Amino acid sequence: MYIRMMEYFTFDSILAKLVFLILAIIAVHYNIVFGVIVILIFISLSQNVIEGMDGEMSNQDSSKDSNITSFKKTNCVDGKLMKDNQTITPEQVKDSFPNIKFTGKNCNPCDEDCKFEIVSGEEQVTNEENLRAMDSNSVNVNREDATKKK
Question: For 47-58, how does the pLDDT look when each residue is reduced to its tens digit (9 = 90+)?
Answer: 765 666 665 555
CA atoms within 13 A on the CB side of 11: 16
CA distances from 109 to 19, 20, 65, 134 (A): 58, 57, 13, 36
CA–CA gap between residue 117 and residue 68 (Å, rounded): 7
Answer yes or no: is 149 within a domain: no
Do both 39 and 66 map to the same domain? no
Q: Provide the domain limits for residue 16.
A: 5-46
Looking at the structure, do residues 75 and 110 belong to the same domain, yes or no? yes
pTM: 0.40
DSSP string, 53-76: --SS-HHHHHHHHHHHHHHHHHHE
Task: Name 117's bridge partners.
Answer: 101
Residue 5 or 144, more confident = 144
Does residue 52 lie within any of the structural domains?
A: no
Confidence of residue 81 (pLDDT cuts 50, 70, 90): confident
Q: How far apart are CA 111 and CA 104, in angstroms?
A: 13
Contact (Cβ atoms closer than 8 angstroms) between residue 45 and residue 11: yes
Same domain, 42 and 89: no
- pLDDT band at residue 127 under the 50/70/90 scheme: low
Ramachandran region, residue 134 (left: φ > 0; alpha: ψ -120 to 50; beta: rest):
beta
